[in-house]
Amino acid sequence: MVRIANAVRPRLARAVTAAGPRIARLAKAVRPRSSHLPRPRTVRTWQYTAGAATAGLALAAGVVTVAGPWDANGQRTAEGDRAAALERSGGADHGRPGTEAGARPAPSAPPVLTGLGGVTSAVGPRKGAGGGQALPDVLAPFLDASALGDGHAAAVVDLTTGERLYGTGAGQALTPASTTKIATAVAALSALGADHRLTTRAALEPDTGEVVLVGGGDPTLTARKGADGWASLRTLAAGTVKALRARDVHEVTLSYDTTLYAGTAQHPIGVNENIAPVTALTADEGRTDGSAKGPAVRVDDPARDAAAKFAALLEDAGVKTTAPGPSKATTRAETLATVSSPPLSALVERMLTNSDNDIAEALARQTALASGEPATFEGGARAIATQLRKLGLPLSGASFHDGSGLDRDDRLTADLLTALLVKAADPGHPGLRPVLTGLPVAGFTGTLTDRYTDGAAGVVRAKTGTLTGVNTLAGTVVDTDGHLLAFAFLASGTTDAQQAQSTLDDAATALAACGCD
């Protein structure tokens, strides 16, 4: 505990020092504009920053725990793994496989609080009015700012009770950008279950000497030496070689099968560094620069690229192959070896933390398959809507065209986004919990690593969304009364992406600093 506390205190100290100016500005910005408004409570900077940064992280985990038991899918240890991360580098991906070396570790919420002498129990439902400011007066200076363009919507909901505390244009359907991934995550987990795994296999066609590399749609399959817990193409090749040697086979015709998915592989946005062609067989998302997240130049044909890498691995092990070409494994094909992805819960967390478009589109197609739809962009979109409708979520005005949010024709409402987060905390749906645990942590992980460093670091957990002219933010925040809130902010027609992003961050920080009525 001492080691954990010592590891975290410097981060909190920096937050205390850095937060002062911004909290002061926010306090001034939300000061009542009329003597008839309730007098705001004084919030000392050191109390807000240090207290919220520790208690906020713990409460976010604590309320979720109260909402239902963890599944046997790795989620029970997801936060505990953060304590172990203090012994090593990493943490940009919640301690999950694929964490890049040298990344700053994000502290585990319950151990951090315990190490600082606190408790880890959850806060109960919101009680009566606490004498704080009204939420509209707190948020209006930010949500009405010109930086948010000509159209915006917002909603705030108490996550433990489902009570909506604030809404403006909350039923207006706007372009959600990457906050669409929250919907994709809920739909995929609902359709497939948090324990579901995606399997890639190598199969031998009898009497032909043909080995078929069969894609199972795993977007996290890797050909790199350090698989770090993800499915490894090298492991699959080693197993295939072993099985071939047992049959005294040393030369094969190599093919690859991508027929699990249908339709066009290219996203409607066209060739783009933010996403590779969507195929049932890919290694390292078709990246050409060794990266694991973010924009990167991609190969034109990820399936052929993965098969070529597989062929090279077989050749290195002494099995001669032909140049691989497309094919389809027959029902008579004998499986030689398989590798499987981590559970779907881990894929969802990685998708949300890093805003991974490739995983998002793969999960949309897997949801389509589980829902009886064709594994296409259109089928995935229909399947997402179907799964959300089954959950009783408010779909009025919503329109899905992909799973990633890259399609500008997607439409979601603030009501739907907050409802998705509330559903993820529902005791009746414990398998949806990765939607909450996968949200980036402000100032610590994923797409929020470099945001909120002078504001509500550790208190806000949110999915970001950015397209040209569109800025969105949806997630959870702990207010000064210790209540866990879900929020969604959407803005369209923005002209300065950086200023719009900062304005949304300020709105979330103001929400965290509020003990509002």
SS (H, E, C) 462-505: EEEEEECCEEEEEEEEECCCCCEEEEEEEEECCCCHHHHHHHHH
Its sign, for the CA torsion 190, 191, 195, 200, is: negative
The torsion defined by the Cα of 140, 142, 144 and 149, in degrees rounded to 10, comes to: -160
Helix (H) or strand (E) segment spanning residue 359: helix 357-370
pLDDT at residue number 423: 97
The torsion defined by the Cα of 61, 444, 99 and 338, in degrees rounded to 10, comes to: 40
pLDDT at residue number 517: 64
At 130, list the tokens: 């606490």
CA dist., res. 396 & res. 416, Å (int): 9
pLDDT at residue number 267: 98
Yes or no: say if 368 and 375 are a contact pair by the CB < 8 Å rule. yes
CA dist., res. 402 & res. 409, Å (int): 9
Does 181 participate in catalysis according to the annotation? yes
Site of tokens 């005294």? 248
> Burial, 238: exposed, middle or buried (Cβ in 10 Å; 0-12, 13-18, 19+)?
middle
pLDDT at residue number 481: 87
pLDDT at residue number 213: 98
Catalytic hit among 341, 355, 371, 492: 355
CA dist., res. 22 & res. 3, Å (int): 30
Report CA 281 to chain centroid distance, whole Å. Answer: 22
Quote the pTM value: 0.80
Collect all residues with Cβ–Cβ distance below 8 Å to 67 and sequence separation of at least 6.
Answer: 160, 425, 426, 427, 430, 433
Tell me the one-letter amino acid at 403.
Answer: G
Does 146 participate in catalysis according to the annotation? no
CA dist., res. 190 & res. 167, Å (int): 27
Does 355 participate in catalysis according to the annotation? yes
> 157 forms bridges with which residues in the sheet?
164, 486
Site of tokens 């497309």? 326
Closest CA to 158 of 419, 372, 369, 492: 419
Catalytic hit among 108, 181, 232, 404: 181
Tens-digit pLDDT profile for residues 327-380: 999 999 999 999 999 999 999 999 999 999 999 999 999 999 999 999 999 999
Residues in the chain predicted with pLDDT less than 50, given as ranges, are: 1-131
User: Residues 73, 77, 81, CA angle at the centre, nearest 5°?
Assistant: 135
Site of tokens 């585990």? 108
